[in-house]
Amino acid sequence: MTHVTPRFAILVCLAGAWSACTASRADTIQTAGVRLEGETTVRERAILIGGSAVPLNGIIAVIRDTGANTFGALQAIRLRNGEIWRARILGLESNRLTVISDLFGRCTIGTESVAALDFSSSPDPGVLHRTGALYRTHGEPIPGTLLWIGEDMLAVDCPLGALTVPRVGTLYYLFEHDASPSAAGPDDEIGLIDGSIIHGRLSLGANGLEMTHAALGALSVPWAAVRYVRRSPPGLMRLGVPPAGDIAIRDPAGRPTAARLIDYRYDGERRPPMPSCLTAVRMQAGTVAQYRLPARKGQDSMFHAVAAPVTGCRGDVRIGLRVSGEIVYERLLAPTNAPVAVSIPLPPGDTLTIDVDFGGRILHPCGVDWRDPCVVFRSE
């Protein structure tokens, strides 16, 4: 299916109107070699930015300055692979969920792939919720299995038996699955202005993106509807928070939140004032993180990130990078420093160490956000 319904066209118009009012704002493209900023447009074989044509196969990420996180409906289907479909929930029968979207129309999906249903609100990521339960505006959560969903009512098989509940006043339902999410695979990812996140194989069309999706088929997405593009090309190693055994804390206070991953793609995380990143590894001063690098196999490698002092930072921050013990980058950031783009070649070695420390007096908060950190391996 390759259509855009009237309501999705309205969202596109809203995004276009915002862009017209904020022409001085800029999109960002990260390639395997450089970071570019400027207004983007799409042609069949490249994305144009600031007079340069960048082919899709050379792009790691595109972050569009849409001026707002999302437009659109509150209802959503959250899949176990990390996708979010902003769509109206029509019904559930025999573990088959039927939804209708402004992007891809009407479809059905098995509940084994679904993590949560948002009826009118998104789960708060900062609160631990019980799975296998229905959450409501008023009253305690109802534990149990969803039996069916209708236009006005739904039913839950709970300890008291089959309980019928009005849809009005329901917030969300969290499905009960094993702890491991389903694999997202090496697909590309697009985030849309309505809050949807879709995975698939990307190509460029005349005025936007073409995506082949495993469940939804062929999708055509106007460029004005795109919030970001996140590709998964060969040789890309995105950096998150390493295992606990690869993190050392030198802070005398031994702060437990020495490093954490902030994911701005999903609801609940406020993005920086300028929408210039999708994720960030936040490291407090006095933290050392070590990453295992794969064998080079004759490939060059580049480290890319943007280093920014954490919000409310009170002291200078010293940041550094080492490869197998060899210092490759050092810098002192003042609390008032603008974000600094770091793109440096890495020498041969099997470990990358990122060091964040106090640059002077020990004052809290003090730390740095490494925005969209990654290592790119490519042949000469």
Confidence at residue 74, expressed as pLDDT on a 0 to 100 scale: 77
Q: Looking at 176, 210, 233, which one is the last position of a domain?
A: 233
Lowest pLDDT segment from 129-133, 229-233, 248-252: 248-252
Whether 11 shows a pLDDT value over 60: the answer reads no
CA 125 to chain centre: 14
Confidence at residue 14, expressed as pLDDT on a 0 to 100 scale: 45
- Classify burial at 103, counting beta carbons within 10 Å of its beta carbon; exposed 0-12, middle 13-18, buried 19 or more: buried
Whether 266 shows a pLDDT value over 90: the answer reads no
Which of helix, strand or coil describes residue 240? coil
Tokens 């793109």 found at = 343
Confidence at residue 17, expressed as pLDDT on a 0 to 100 scale: 46
Report residue 43's pLDDT band, with 50, 70 and 90 as the boundaries. Answer: confident
More confident residue, 20 or 303: 303
Residue 259 CB partners (closer than 8 Å, separation 6+): 241, 242, 247, 281, 282, 283, 284, 287, 289
Q: Please state the rounded mean pLDDT for residues 341-352.
A: 95
What's the CA gap between 120 and 167, in Å, rounded? 10
Co-location of 184 and 260 in the same domain: no
DSSP state, 51? Answer: T
Confidence at residue 21, expressed as pLDDT on a 0 to 100 scale: 43
Task: Assign residue 316 the CATH number of its domain.
Answer: 2.60.120.1060
Confidence at residue 278, expressed as pLDDT on a 0 to 100 scale: 93
What's the CA gap between 51 and 40, in Å, rounded? 9
Confidence at residue 7, expressed as pLDDT on a 0 to 100 scale: 46
Q: Calculate the alpha carbon distances from 203 to 13, 56, 103, 193, 233 in Å.
A: 23, 7, 17, 19, 13
Lowest pLDDT segment from 24-33, 146-155, 265-274, 347-356: 265-274
Confidence at residue 20, expressed as pLDDT on a 0 to 100 scale: 46
Co-location of 262 and 349 in the same domain: yes
Confidence at residue 255, expressed as pLDDT on a 0 to 100 scale: 63
Co-location of 243 and 351 in the same domain: yes
pLDDT digits (tens, 9 = 90+) for 151-186: 999 999 999 999 999 999 999 999 988 766 655 567
Co-location of 262 and 169 in the same domain: no
Q: Looking at 233, 254, 273, which one is the last position of a domain?
A: 233
Calculate the average pLDDT of the chain.
86
What's the CA gap between 267 and 4, in Å, rounded? 24
Q: Do 161 and 170 contact (CB within 8 A), yes or no?
A: no
DSSP state, 12? Answer: H
Helices (H) and strands (E) in the chain, counts: 1, 34
Report residue 220's pLDDT band, with 50, 70 and 90 as the boundaries. Answer: very high
Co-location of 218 and 246 in the same domain: no
pLDDT digits (tens, 9 = 90+) for 118-150: 998 766 655 557 899 999 998 889 999 999 999
Report residue 271's pLDDT band, with 50, 70 and 90 as the boundaries. Answer: low
pLDDT digits (tens, 9 = 90+) for 52-101: 899 999 899 999 987 655 555 679 999 999 999 999 999 999 999 999 99
Q: Looking at 233, 252, 268, which one is the last position of a domain?
A: 233
How many residues appear in the chain?
Answer: 380
Whether 237 shows a pLDDT value over 60: the answer reads yes
Q: Calculate the alpha carbon distances from 175 to 165, 166, 182, 331 in Å.
A: 17, 19, 13, 46
Neighbour count for residue 21 (Cβ, 10 Å): 10
Tokens 């470990």 found at = 351
User: Residue 300 forms beta bridges with which residues?
Assistant: 378
Handedness of CA 344, 347, 352, 356 (dihedral sign): negative
What's the CA gap between 166 and 288, in Å, rounded? 51
Confidence at residue 67, expressed as pLDDT on a 0 to 100 scale: 66
The first and second tokens of residue 135, run together, are 């959450």
Which of helix, strand or coil describes residue 222? strand
What's the CA gap between 57 and 297, in Å, rounded? 21
Closest CA to 198 of 206, 209, 98: 209
How many folded domains does the chain comprise? 2
- CA quadruple 83, 84, 87, 92: dihedral, nearest 10: 70
Whether 323 shows a pLDDT value over 50: the answer reads yes
What's the angle, vertex CA 319, arms to CA 249 and CA 301, rounded to 5? 105
Residue 160 CB partners (closer than 8 Å, separation 6+): none
Co-location of 207 and 240 in the same domain: no
Which of helix, strand or coil describes residue 156? strand
Share of the chain above pLDDT 90, in %: 66
Co-location of 140 and 281 in the same domain: no
CA atoms lying within 13 Å on the CB side of residue 103: 31
Confidence at residue 296, expressed as pLDDT on a 0 to 100 scale: 81
Q: Please state the rounded mean pLDDT for residues 306-316.
A: 94
Lowest pLDDT segment from 64-68, 107-111, 133-137, 325-329: 64-68
Co-location of 256 and 205 in the same domain: no
Q: Please state the rounded mean pLDDT for residues 311-339.
A: 96
Co-location of 117 and 20 in the same domain: yes
User: What's the helix, strand, coil split of the chain in %, to 5?
Assistant: 5, 50, 45
Co-location of 85 and 208 in the same domain: yes
Co-location of 201 and 350 in the same domain: no
pLDDT digits (tens, 9 = 90+) for 276-297: 899 999 999 999 999 999 988 7
Co-location of 67 and 174 in the same domain: yes
Confidence at residue 351, expressed as pLDDT on a 0 to 100 scale: 96
Whether 262 shows a pLDDT value over 60: the answer reads yes
What's the CA gap between 360 and 318, in Å, rounded? 9
Residue 69 domain boundaries: 1-233
Report residue 310's pLDDT band, with 50, 70 and 90 as the boundaries. Answer: very high
